[in-house]
Structure 1
Amino acid sequence: MQDDLTLIIDDAADSMKKAIGHLELELTKIRAGKANPQILDGIFVDYYGAPTALNQVANVSIADARTLTIQPWEKNMLQPIERAIIASNIGLNPQNDGIIIRLFLPPLTEERRKEFVKKANNEGEQAKVAIRNIRRDAIEAVKKLQKDGLSEDTAKDAEADIQQLTDKHIALIEKHCEVKEKEIMAV
């Protein structure tokens, strides 16, 4: 019974860490005015009929604070990469010179910065919902154990532990969102 309880709490903690990891990944995709190769994560290129991650068919590097360069390993990949970037809807227009593709990140307007902050906060809210769902599932599992013979005090302690874990992870989400907001709003 105690082992099952420990397993429930450990699973909840593990799932919450994964939710935080997902949030961090999504926040790196939100542009903050500086060139960052991670904004291209999640873009897949048609590589001989198979969707392949952009960073697996080309070298992505930072030329300067506002420019990313993409150098394909095969010259015939320039067009598919360019099409994939346009189709990804990240708001950047690729400049193809026949050898490399350049992405110029325009300076963000105040309005655009606020949009990105809204997007970051939305990602944070989705992560909070995921954390709360994990908490709900864990507490339901504890209540099920209680019906199977777990003492009420032990069940209440486990629920308190799960709530404490939830509070800790939600505070972490808020911290990540605050940091991203400062990064976006910095001119």
Structure 2
Amino acid sequence: PPFVCMDESKISLPFEIYKYDKYVFVLTNVPPHSTERNNFSRALAEWTIKEKFKASYLIGGLDSRLKSSENDKIRCVITSSFKDIDKIEIPILEKGLFVVGPLAIMLSYFEINNFPAIALLPYANPARPDPMAAAIAIEFLSKLTGLSIDTSQLISDAHKIEEEIQELIKQRQERTRTDHKMLYL
């Protein structure tokens, strides 16, 4: 997309690429435009295969309203050539639920090309940023890769968001009570 924004004191790009040790991370701060989505996703998958990466670890999300219980945290989708799933216990996405968008395109391309890939899909609130879901995905990514990734800031942010939501709910309830009292005057 033809835009950038500021993130504190530096420019934040729509797509950012980072390298750490033997890992390459692609961060999409903004989803690709619908007219570019297929080409972007396919090009990224082709590049991953061409550069002979060992595997692809993708992170997406599932609507938290689809949870079967409060203990449900995450699901995954794996290509048939992904073998590292034995390292950790992540339930496979249930039949009848779908992955859509860039992750679906990339997973399809990886499957067709017999390339190992996993999509980590933590349950997330679709209406707002969900740092707790991000922390869950990163914790499972850490277990799969052996990387040590600190999620304490994400967890702290999640608690702050929850506190703010509870405060807004409390304020709304107080306003509603006040409004009802005024109706009876």
Report the TM-score, using the length of structure 1 for normalisation: 0.30
Larger RCO, structures 1/2 (Cα 8 Å, 6+ apart): 1
The answer to which structure has the higher helix fraction is 1
Larger radius of gyration: 1
The answer to which structure has the higher strand fraction is 2
Report the TM-score, using the length of structure 2 for normalisation: 0.30
